[in-house]
């Protein structure tokens, strides 16, 4: 029997089967006919025909209540969906897992006097545990997005209590093409809530963990320090390649690899060397990763599995390969699996470590990168480092920093606004020296931070990198700008911070060459307290900055 040719329908039906949601209540209609046809003609599903949607919702609720497993109800577009509202409310307050599937018109026709149309996504408000609106599938990204949304909705049926979810599915004409012979293979995302090593339900998870030889842990931003016991470090470290950035702080049981951007860049595309570096299993914890190159690498060469460990248990599919969500504290997870790892030899971590050691730390000529490198090299121990977004946080990753330095950055949304204000708020109660590395656009965007009534304490030291615009935009691959476009994209300017900094009580230093830079950074990083906050403004040429950075990366390809 052939099924609908609509890919979003096929994804939905295949995942309902994978989650073993067998009972489907079907209401009549034309827009949902492709759904009805596919459900009714697949041998796995037990279909129930109910004409009245209000009754159908409660009938499905009864199926779920009696059987103990989720049931689904499928309706056509328009007011048919609104008749399910009472059943949704009852399922929500009685905590019954109910899937509402609504066919819909394409979004372009909502509100255009077309028949049976109204805004359907989110129509149940807070009474649905989750409401998703599936895309119509035209690209691989659509396919991934559709799969992820369905997984999220079905996982939510039993997450922190049971309840209803709503899956809205726009369907374009033609509606009645039934040409697909089989349901597609689909990715199923599973969620483990807590990890009890004595629970046999976890045997499969641990077996999979031990099955893989190429295992990688990627740690995102974490605004804390977590010191693993020495015994745990020895048990864990040798089994994984550990990648993190400065924003991860001290949250890894050992010495992480931080220059992975350069390693990835050095690997010829499609080569055996690159293939050996692709992980089979990736485990992630923490927040955002800055490196776009790492994200692109793992999306283009996806691991067989990606496990994300987080207390909130949310689906976070950064690399498009998520298979497992582990809802628990990541450090508790690592400490538990440390005793479950089979002691078998693996060369994978050593390959990454060897390449990391062969990547030299850059020694740039006078530039923004040189200024950051000098600062990080001379940072006093136990200081706090605040990195503004865009170039500052990326360039800092090229250099090592003392382990005891705490790194802060607004990477939740990665915007340039507020970097300085956040740093000042942190520094106000801090007993450490607080260093701020910030680009000109970020600084002038947020310069009112220095104007606020809050006192500027002398523990504050600012390094402003001023090359008269956002030079990072000039390095974007594939972007070629004429003079008119260049003016607006890079926000060129001739502004200097001297008057504003001195007016606000800073001791100000301007830097225009290498000799001045050495002296200014030495003064800026002196560990002794000063009577007033310090401010160093480094002027560079953006074209030269970009050339030096590109030459550094290109050198790895020319070896």
Condensed to tens digits (0 to 9), the pLDDT of residues 374-395 reads: 999 999 999 999 999 989 999 9
Closest CA to 96 of 46, 35, 31, 163: 163
Tokens of residue 499, six digits:
């008057």
- Residue 355's Cα: distance from chain center in Å? 26
Q: Which two tokens stand for residue 548?
A: 């030096």
Q: What is the DSSP letter of 361?
A: P
What distance in Å separates the CA atoms of residue 142 and residue 135, rounded to the nearest whole number?
Answer: 6
| Rounded Cα distance, 559 and 556, in Å | 6
Domain 7-170 and domain 190-357, same fold? Reply is yes
Mean pLDDT of 16-40: 96
- Which pLDDT value is given to residue 455? 72
Q: Which stretch of DSSP H or E encloses residue 130?
A: strand 130-133
Three-state SS for 8? helix
First vs last Cα of the chain: how many Å apart? 58
- At residue 224 the predicted structure's pLDDT band, cuts being 50, 70 and 90, is confident
Task: Quote the mean pLDDT of the chain.
Answer: 92
Range with the lowest mean pLDDT among 269-273, 324-328, 378-382, 481-485?
481-485
Question: Chain centroid to CA 206: how far?
Answer: 25
Q: Is 408 a residue whose pLDDT tops 80? A: yes
Integer-rounded Cα Rg, in Å, for the chain is 28
Find, among 294, 529, 544, the residue nearest to 432 by Cα: 529
The top-level CATH class assigned to 368-557 is alpha beta
Helix (H, G, I), strand (E, B) or coil at 463: strand
> What is residue 62's predicted lDDT score, i.e. its pLDDT?
97
**How many contiguous H segments (helices) and E segments (strands) does the chain have?**
21, 18
pLDDT tens profile 240-251: 999 999 999 999
In this structure, the number of other CB atoms found within 10 A of the CB of residue 498 comes to 13
**Number of other residues whose CB lies within 10 A of the CB of residue 43:** 6
Q: What tokens were used for 485?
A: 């476009």
Q: Would you list the domain boundaries of the chain?
A: 7-170, 190-357, 368-557
Q: CA 222 to CA 210: how far, in whole Å?
A: 27
* Dist. CA 441–CA 470, nearest whole Å: 7
- 8 Å CB contact between 398 and 548: no
Task: Give the whole-angstrom CA distance, residue 161 versus residue 116.
Answer: 34
| Residues 350-366, mean pLDDT to the nearest whole number | 94
CATH for 190-357, options being 3.90.950.10, 3.65.10.10, 3.40.50.1220, 3.20.20.70: 3.40.50.1220
Cis peptide bond N-terminal to 101, omega within 30: no
> Domain 7-170 is classified in which CATH homologous superfamily?
Thiamin diphosphate (ThDP)-binding fold, Pyr/PP domains (3.40.50.970)
Distance between CA atoms of residues 550 and 372, nearest Å: 17
Which stretches of 212-329 are DSSP H helices? 230-237, 260-266, 272-277, 292-300
Q: Taking residues 273-284, what's their average pLDDT?
A: 96
Mean pLDDT along residues 38-61: 96
By the 10 Å C-beta count (0-12 exposed, 13-18 middle, 19+ buried), 403 is classed as exposed
- Closest to 65 in 3D by CA, of 23, 121, 33, 124: 23
């Amino acid at each position: 029997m052939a099924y609908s040719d609509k890919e979003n329908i096929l994804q939905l039906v295949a995942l309902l089967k994978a989650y073993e949601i067998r009972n489907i209540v079907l209401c009549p209609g034309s827009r949902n006919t492709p759904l009805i046809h596919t459900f009714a003609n697949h041998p796995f599903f037990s279909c129930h025909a109910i004409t009245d949607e209000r009754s159908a919702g409660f009938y499905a609720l009864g199926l779920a209540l009696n059987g103990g497993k989720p049931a689904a109800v499928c309706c056509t577009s328009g007011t048919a969906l609104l008749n399910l509202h009472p059943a949704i409310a009852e399922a929500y307050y009685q905590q019954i897992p109910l899937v509402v599937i609504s066919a819909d018109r394409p979004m372009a026709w909502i509100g255009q006097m077309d028949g049976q149309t109204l805004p359907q996504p989110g129509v149940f408000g807070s009474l649905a545990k989750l409401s998703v609106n599936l895309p119509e599938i035209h690209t691989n990204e659509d396919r991934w997005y559709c799969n992820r949304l369905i997984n999220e909705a079905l996982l939510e049926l039993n997450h922190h209590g049971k309840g209803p979810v709503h899956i809205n599915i726009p369907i374009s004409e033609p509606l009645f093409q039934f040409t697909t012979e089989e349901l597609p293979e689909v990715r199923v995302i599973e969620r483990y809530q807590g990890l009890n090593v004595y629970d046999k339900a976890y045997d499969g998870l641990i077996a999979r963990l031990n099955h893989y030889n190429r295992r990688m842990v990627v740690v995102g931003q974490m605004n804390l320090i977590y010191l693993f016991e020495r015994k745990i470090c020895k048990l864990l470290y040798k089994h994984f390649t550990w990648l993190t950035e400065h924003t991860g702080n001290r949250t890894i049981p050992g010495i992480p690899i931080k220059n992975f951007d350069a390693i990835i860049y050095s690997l010829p595309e499609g080569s055996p060397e690159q293939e050996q570096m692709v992980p089979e299993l990736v485990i992630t914890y923490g927040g955002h990763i800055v490196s776009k190159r790492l994200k692109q690498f793992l999306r283009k060469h996806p691991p067989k599995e990606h496990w994300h460990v987080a207390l909130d248990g949310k689906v976070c599919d950064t690399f498009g390969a998520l298979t497992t969500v582990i809802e628990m504290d990541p450090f508790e997870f690592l400490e538990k699996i440390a005793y479950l790892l089979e002691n078998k030899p693996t060369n994978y971590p050593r390959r990454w470590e060897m390449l990391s050691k062969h990547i030299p730390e850059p020694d740039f000529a006078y530039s923004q990168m040189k200024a950051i490198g000098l600062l990080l090299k001379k940072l006093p121990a136990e200081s706090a480092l605040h990195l503004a977004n865009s170039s500052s946080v990326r360039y800092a990753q090229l250099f090592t920093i003392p382990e005891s330095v705490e790194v802060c950055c607004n990477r939740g949304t990665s915007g340039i606004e507020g970097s300085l204000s956040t740093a000042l708020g942190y520094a106000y109660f801090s007993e450490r020296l607080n260093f701020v590395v910030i680009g000109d656009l970020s600084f002038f965007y947020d310069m009112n931070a220095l104007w606020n009534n809050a006192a500027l304490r002398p523990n504050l030291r600012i390094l402003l990198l001023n090359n008269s615009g956002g030079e990072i935009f000039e390095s974007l691959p594939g972007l070629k700008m004429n003079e008119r476009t260049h003016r607006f994209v890079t926000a060129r300017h001739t502004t200097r911070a001297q008057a504003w900094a001195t007016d606000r009580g800073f001791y100000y230093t301007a830097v225009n060459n290498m000799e001045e830079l050495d002296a200014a950074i030495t003064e800026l990083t002196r560990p002794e307290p000063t009577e007033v906050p310090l401010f160093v403004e480094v002027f560079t040429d953006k074209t030269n900055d970009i050339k030096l950075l590109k030459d550094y990366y290109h050198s790895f390809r020319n070896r």
